[in-house]
Amino acid sequence: MEHLRAPNRCPDGTGMAGVFLWDTPRLRRLDVGDESLKQQASDVVEQNFPECRGKVLFVHLVRWNIGVAQFPPGRLREMTALRQQLAAWTAPLDLCGDYLDGLSSEGALRTGEEAADRIAKKLKRH
């Protein structure tokens, strides 16, 4: 849920979810109108979060004409393991970027803040 990654982005008692829809042989979305895509996104949220049924306030639709990177199966496990390694890493450098936390500028910022915190803790120890 996006509102958990970036506090104060939603009014109290509400949340925000990012939904990525892509073209498949069964669901040809590239040629579908905006309202249809917005409804499909709302349906995805309501299917996965039944408590949100009928409570979607709005949908902000962004069409990316180039594409959206998709991670292969196992990517979450890899990134979890990498984050655990970074937490225990003693080298005087760190890693950050949207690839660690999904594909978003918020993810890049969040992992940058986490890397800065880890470096600050390392510097305090020395």
Q: Quick one: pLDDT at residue 122?
A: 87
In a domain, 19, yes or no: yes
- For 84-101, the DSSP string reads HHHHH--SS-----GGGS
When pLDDT is cut at 50, 70 and 90, the band that residue 80 belongs to is: confident
Average pLDDT of every residue of the chain: 84
In a domain, 107, yes or no: yes
In a domain, 61, yes or no: no
In a domain, 119, yes or no: yes
Tens digits of residue pLDDT in 4-48: 566 777 788 888 888 888 888 888 888 899 999 999 999 999 999
Residue 90 scores a pLDDT above 90:
no
| 3-state secondary structure (DSSP) of residue 108 | helix
Total structural domains in the chain? 2
In a domain, 64, yes or no: no
Residue 73 scores a pLDDT above 80:
yes
Structural domain for 24, as ranges: 2-52
How wide is the angle at C-alpha 119 spanned by C-alphas 91 and 7, nearest 5°? 135
Q: Are 61 and 42 in contact (CB under 8 A)?
A: no
Q: Enter the pTM of the model.
A: 0.50
